């Protein structure tokens, strides 16, 4: 056993640093519960294929940003680039969704 590693192999002198993304306040006041439930219901009915529920995921993230439960960020940076979307005319477009849309 190494003296620097401790009994279970971890360095006891260093403090853990949280990751930059993925850590945000819990929704203790249930401000975005409706959006969360809609997304989870969609996942259940879609056989947990998240691609089919992107609009609900987007709506949930927008709710969290609006209520300061996570940092405001451009939705394109979060992976909400709509590619190969069919329009009413049947054409395929490539557009980026922003928070203003």
**pLDDT, position 96:** 47
Would you say 51 and 58 are in contact if contact means Cβ atoms under 8 Å apart?
no
Burial class (CB in 10 A: 0-12, 13-18, 19+), 51: exposed
For residues 16 and 53, the model is more confident at 53
pLDDT tens readout for residues 26-75: 899 999 999 999 999 999 999 999 999 999 999 999 999 999 998 899 99
**pLDDT, position 94:** 43
Over pLDDT 70: what percentage of the chain? 57
**pLDDT, position 48:** 94
């Amino acid at each position: 056993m190494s003296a620097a590693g401790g009994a279970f192999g971890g360095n006891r002198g260093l403090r853990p640093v949280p990751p930059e993304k993925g850590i945000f306040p819990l929704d203790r006041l249930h401000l975005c519960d409706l959006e969360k439930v809609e997304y989870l219901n969609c996942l259940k009915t879609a056989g947990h294929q998240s691609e089919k529920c992107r609009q609900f995921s987007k709506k949930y993230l927008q709710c969290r940003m609006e209520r300061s439960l996570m940092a405001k960020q451009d939705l394109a940076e979060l992976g909400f680039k709509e590619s190969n979307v069919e329009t009413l005319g049947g054409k395929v477009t490539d557009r980026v969704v922003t928070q203003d849309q």
